Structure 1
Amino acid sequence: MSSLLYSVLVSPLAPEDGGGFVATVPDLPGCISDGETPQEALFNVQDAIESWIEAAEDLGRDVPKPSRQLAYAK
């Protein structure tokens, strides 16, 4: 299962939280990452998604399917 199939929400972090951006994956509870830029947060969350899926499989837990299909404009 590709990590790119999951929707990711990227939001700015408040300065008191260190600034930068946080990326969360709504379909995978607790799956988050961050970065100095939105692009870095999105790049970093791909490893978090893969690790989340691997840990769930190791524990014998179900891995949720992506809740929506993504479309890309050309």
Structure 2
Amino acid sequence: MQIELPLDQMTLSDKLEVMETLWQSLSREPCHLPSPEWHRDVLLERKKLADDQKLEFLDWDTAFKKLKDELREDKDL
């Protein structure tokens, strides 16, 4: 199935909402695709940063709201 979205007509906010909908769908279904090796390297580096308390963690709803607010601010410029 091929799905075409009017990406050139969508705002960044619209695109993020589509991504959120896709992510919610994907997270409900177990994915059986293997992760590439570089994912492991990135995760190990992030674990080290977390262990060293050099990261800020946000829950998804807060992070999503923060992104939307930042996009609104950029749009107002």
Q: Does the TM-score normalized on the shorter chain lie above 0.5?
A: no
**Greater strand share, structure number:** 1
Higher RCO by CA contacts (8 Å cutoff, separation 6 or greater): 2
> Computing the radius of gyration over CA atoms, which structure comes out larger, 1 or 2?
2
TM-score of the aligned structures, taking structure 1 as reference length? 0.29
